[in-house]
Amino acid sequence: MGRLFGTDGVRGLANADLTAELALDLAVAAAHVLGDVGAFGGHEGRPVAVVGRDPRASGEFLEAAVVAGLASAGVDVWRVGVLPTPAVAYLTAALDADLGVVLSASHNPMPDNGIKLLARGGHKLADDVEDAIEARMREAWSRPTGAGVGRVVDHAEGAVLYVEHLLSTVPHPLDGLRVVVDGANGAASSVGPEALRRAGAEVIEIHTEPDGLNINDGCGSTHLEDLRAAVLEHGADAGVAFDGDADRCLAVDAGGAVIDGDHVLVILGIAMRERGVLVDDTVVATVMANLGFKLAAQESALAVIETGVGDRYVLEAMREGGFVLGGEQSGHVILADHATTGDGVLTALHLLSRVAQTGRPLAELASIVQKLPQVLINVKGVDKSRVATEPALLAAVADAEAELGRTGRVLLRSSGTEPVVRVMVEAATAEQAQAVAERLAGVVSATLAL
């Protein structure tokens, strides 16, 4: 059996892979482990957990199972209802809770769901803590009885506290901007438009009517077609789209062009440096950031620190260096002065604040990042363990890099779960990127075949 925890909590097909029984057992084990490592202790009485979810139908029974598990282990629960993942993280810290739990599968289709655990302060759990939780699932334990069991209270003020927090961070009001908001029929369907309106924008909503079944269904940050159409139809200055749990945000400009995380990091990096709040003038990004992003950062005198793919690696690098801005091309942007994780609504507010503050269209602000054509080929059925040592492959990569020069890049990555090597090539033209990628994919297939 593989590790229960993935890169972002425990996920799977709800009621098949991710069952109520599993959710209950996981909650009990989390209460025991986090108590052992001293996470509990911010309260004189019982430990407290904040539990929130996205609108998926399966979240209703999974939330009930998690709450039951925590309360049975003697943990008091504040149930905050449907809120974004970053809102639960914020409330875990703001309410001085000992633990946060989010029921969400983020941008995944509706039938999936997930359980994400947060430590005190709203931070993600370290790998060793996750391993300890998994090891203690279904262990024998002494159950509290009578007054020793946890109590469950609905915390209706959570959304209000979160929106007030977001508004307190905005550098410049959004007055005069017309913005289309795609809520992905997800967790930010209410708080996202509300925050933007209260910041001063005129807001046009699409896909903000979740029914438990329509989350991420042809909408949100993974499906920008409706957002583009709405921006053009309404003559909006910009559009923003969240994913199901609103920890990421993508945008489109007034002409419908996509503004992704690479654009956002440079735009916000310049703005934060001007305000004197960008630590060491440094932005943290992953190795998958487009070379155009890196060239734009250099031209803007922004230093870039690269990490592996995944927001947890971005967060680790930010914490180690004390940096305050980082993220991924997918729109998962972390503003560490205001959040412990990626926050789509926060990102949208700060991006649009820059537009309002400068008086320049979003397209003009984003034009500093000239994306290079990128081709990604997955080569299957190969020995991925030899990707960094096979002489013939290393020689082929060196030849490709010499051919591409400064206006191109090669990246070979091994899949974490399959016998697959991912060949990514960026080049000055799409034709050159495709040709080099295909050539390298052929070398990978020939030299690493199983």
What are the catalytic residues?
A: 106
Q: Which residue is listed with tokens 């990042």?
A: 369
Classify 291 as helix, strand or coil: helix
- Transcribe 338-397 into DSSP letters: T-SS--HHHHHHHHHHHHHHHT--HHHHHTT--PPPEEEEEEESB-GGGTTT-HHHHHHH
Could you give the C-alpha distances from 362 to 193, 205, 256, 355, 402, in angstroms and in order?
19, 19, 11, 6, 35
Please name the residue ranges forming H helices in 136-201.
158-169, 191-198
User: How far apart, in whole angstroms, are the C-alpha atoms of residue 86 and residue 92?
Assistant: 10
* CA dihedral sign of residues 66, 27, 416, 295: positive
Q: Is 371 exposed, middle or buried (0-12, 13-18, 19+ CB in 10 A)?
A: middle
Q: First CA to last CA across the chain, in angstroms?
A: 23
Residues 6+ apart with CB under 8 A from 361: 237, 253, 254, 355
DSSP secondary structure code for residue 54 in this structure:
-
Contact 362, 281 (CB under 8 A): no
Q: And the tokens for 394?
A: 């290393």
Q: Which residues contact 217 (CB under 8 A, 6 or more apart)?
A: 109, 110, 185
How are beta strands 178-182 and 112-119 bridged, if at all? unpaired
DSSP secondary structure letter of residue 85: H
Distance CA 330, CA 306 (A): 15
Beta bridge partners of 77: 49, 152
